[in-house]
Every structure is written in structure tokens, then in C-alpha cells.
Amino acid sequence: MDKSSPHDLAQMRKSYELAELDEAQVAPEPIDQFHRWFDEAVRAKALEPNAMTVATVGADGRPSTRVLLLKGADAQGLVWFTNYESRKGHDLAANPFAAMQFFWGELERVVRIEGRVERVSDQESDAYYGSRPLGSRIGAWVSPQSRVLSSRSELEAAWARQQAALGDDPPRPPHWGGYRLVPDRWEFWQGRPSRLHDRIVYQRLADGTWQRQRLAP
């Protein structure tokens, strides 16, 4: 045991026993399987079921991750909104591929998705921006996301200035909008006892159909 830690990390483990996942149970289309599990996560009152970890890789080859909120999911792909000038925005400009992961611990489930990333249309970004609370819309103008700030007060002062300048109906900033990950690979992971977890992967084939396979845990 590491004497610098009050926890015996080597002995921390959980047996997953809530459910199972079989090839015969999953939907033919991965987006349908995703919605099935997402709905179950909502019913299970998972903490922010649309929270996901998104991984990108920059021009220097270094990966980075962050937690974002999913705001759209259909046959076209999975959508989130952010500052295009953030670190992830620069990463995606250099390398337009990403991976995302949902962890629903209440159901002992993980969903992993990989694919190419593209910007959504201006119309989609405008529509979502207009649906946000006013404070969040002003915040999109204020935050130089991922850049160094001298203090919290600098950010709050900028927010107050923009609130006065923009009023109650600010337009969408040109540096802010949506991305869509267009999947070519999905994995659905269900925890099982003895670490013999169920893993079903969907891989997009050249003709656009999906191949389903079981992976070793």
C-alpha cells in the first residue's frame, strides 16, 4: 500500500452483476441501441446521462480529454456545442477525428464511439444557441476558452461588460457553434462478474452497413 495515500487502491474493486448483453439482444443499428440504453440511463436517474468524455489529438500528437454534454443524437451522428477556438477546436482543425465515451455507473454500462468530426450548419448552431439561458449565451461571448486568465474577477468583469453591451438577445458569436461526430465504430460494454464483461462492437463497412462482433473483455 502506498503510504502517501489513505486508500488501498489495489484492493478497490466492484463486481458487476446487474445485467448482460448478447448479440441477439442488440439493435441492428447502433444509434437505436444507443437510444435504448440512453433511455434506460435516464430512467435509472444517472447523474447527467448526456455527459460524455470526448478525446481529441492535437497537431503535436498529444491526446486530451474533457467532459462535454451531448445535445443531439440521430443517424447523422452525435452533436455537442463549444468554442471553436478552444483546445479541442484547435485539435479538431488539425486532426478531425475524435472518440467519445459515456459511463453510466448506475447500470454498469459504457458506450464508446469513434469517428470523423465536422461542424454542424450555422442554422443548427443558431437554433441551439437561441435555446440556451441568457447567461450562457453571454458567457459564450465572454470566455476565451482554454486560455490563461489572470483571475476569476477578470472573467466576471468581462461578463458584466458584455451583459450591458449585448442586452437580452445576443447573437451567436462567430467563434462558437456545434460539432458532429459521424461514427464509424461503436462499442457497447456491459459489466459482468469475474471481469468477463460483455463487449459488442459495431464497425461500419464500406457499403455503409454495420458489422456486429463480440470482443474479448
**Catalytic residue set:** 195
Neighbour-count burial of 21, counting CB atoms closer than 10 A to its CB (0-12 exposed, 13-18 middle, 19+ buried)? buried
Q: Cell 459482468, residue?
A: 192
Q: Which whole-number Å values give the CA distances from 106 to 64, 98, 109, 146, in the listed order?
A: 26, 26, 8, 31
Amino acid at 82: T
CB 77 within 8 A of CB 115: yes
Q: Where are the alpha helices (DSSP H) in 60-121?
A: 87-94
Hey, is 209 helix, strand or coil? Answer: coil
Q: Which whole-number Å values give the CA distances from 146 to 56, 99, 117, 193, 216, in the listed order?
A: 14, 20, 20, 41, 38
Pairing mode, strands 176-190 and 109-119? antiparallel
CB 100 within 8 A of CB 112: yes
